[in-house]
Structure 1
Amino acid sequence: MQETDSGEWYALQDKLERTRVQHDKLAQVVLDNIALEVELRVRYPQLFWNRPSYSFRRNVWEEGILKEGLAHPDQLSLFLEPLFSPEPPFLFPLDWGWAEQTESVWEKEERAEETSVDIEAYVPRRIDFEQIADVWQPIFLKLLEEGHFSLSELAHIGPEEQQKWLLQKETSDLWLMFFASPIVVPPLTPEMAVTDDRLKLIQVLQNREPRFLALTGKRIRVQIEPGKPMIRWEKLAMTPFYIVLEEEGSSSD
């Protein structure tokens, strides 16, 4: 009996010794790995930049769908909907985040009623070319009489006259439109549909006074007047434009 116990004790002692040796080897391997990682972090830090360990392209598409295929074409939507759906089925990672997004049916109905009351039908803004023509008419009269007009002449007009230019942004934008490209005035009739704001302005002027029919066939162009400072009003700054009325085919200055 004692010999049996003694044999078991030696066998157990042998197992413990082998376990200790293996443990020491494992500990040495762990220490070597730590030392290697520290060395790599110091010498090659770019190796430890955050990189996704999982990607849809590699793990799902290339290694899954392309290799194995799908049992039914409709299953493809199960993979794609989470990527493109604007309303994910739930929010991660906190419960309170989900709670804030949850509302009762009654709250939804009340909110829908409030929204329906607040929303008004959109009415597109209409350009009042009659008001624009009031501002531009003196300029075109000067064009007919002298063949040119300098915007610098309006540099010191009073607040009331300035306000007329500010009522609609299209009033001052017409200077930029004339500057962008010269225009030859075609024959215009009162009932003609015109999409160019410049021609619409001239059409309104011609409907007011027959003298503006003399603009037909003439070329209108705008340039920047050299040596003139910016026109600075209280609420608007404008380039010193110079508008010219000339015969079609005349060379630009």
Structure 2
Amino acid sequence: MSNEPPAPGPPPEDDPFRKRPQEPPGAPGSPGSPGSSEGGGAPPPPPPGGAGPYPGGPYGGEPPGGGGPYGGGPYGGDPYGGGPYGGGPYGYGGTDPLGGMPPLADTAKRVLARIVDWLVIAVPLALIGIPFGVYSRVSDESANLGDVWASGSGGGQWTFQLLSMLAYVAYDTLMTAKWNGQTLGKRMTGIRVAMLNDGSVPPTSAALMRALVLWLPALICCACLWPLLLLVLILVDKPYKQGLHDKAARTVVVSAAR
């Protein structure tokens, strides 16, 4: 008999939001299950008819309440009622990547969070822009950041335009990747950005891609049209309510409540 200690298991996950597979309480081999040696004694004999403790299989599948981290809790098992890819409202086949995650964020909360984030950056930039002479064209009713970029008039305005792009992209990237998927606006409204495949906090690369698609078109040429287009796509997209920035980064926005 070897006296060597058993090999250590894998290190625990650092990401508190990553979905972890769980064995349902009634599954064979789980602690306290009818077929487990833990919990003492042999498994009870099945009732007449061959059914297990819970109808539907030798062990009845799962006990009431489901087996996921939200099963039987405030989200009622699978947050999408079987999931759009698991026999849910959209009727596709396969497995729901969002199974076990909180519900998708409310669209109104997403809009409010975006307005807050825009103000967090726009107000300081408005003060910084004074020495760059960005308000010298205020008399032109059609003037906006996109016009300044397109016209190329004034080195100070070019510099301020580049500074604005850097500020918006860096803010969204760093906050999303380093603060549990939340900007200030998202934290205020109780929502967060999550990777579609496993619910984890987006890495820096995904957060950067999302920020570039989210902010650059609006800052360069489409200050009004681009945010409106993203909102329309979020409203009509099924089943994950993804804008183009979410699709590019493969992310979703979900409730941050745990």
Q: For the pair shown, which has the larger CA radius of gyration, 1 or 2?
A: 1
Give the TM-score category using the shorter length. under 0.3
Normalised to the residue count of structure 1, the TM-score between the two structures is 0.22
Normalised to the residue count of structure 2, the TM-score between the two structures is 0.21
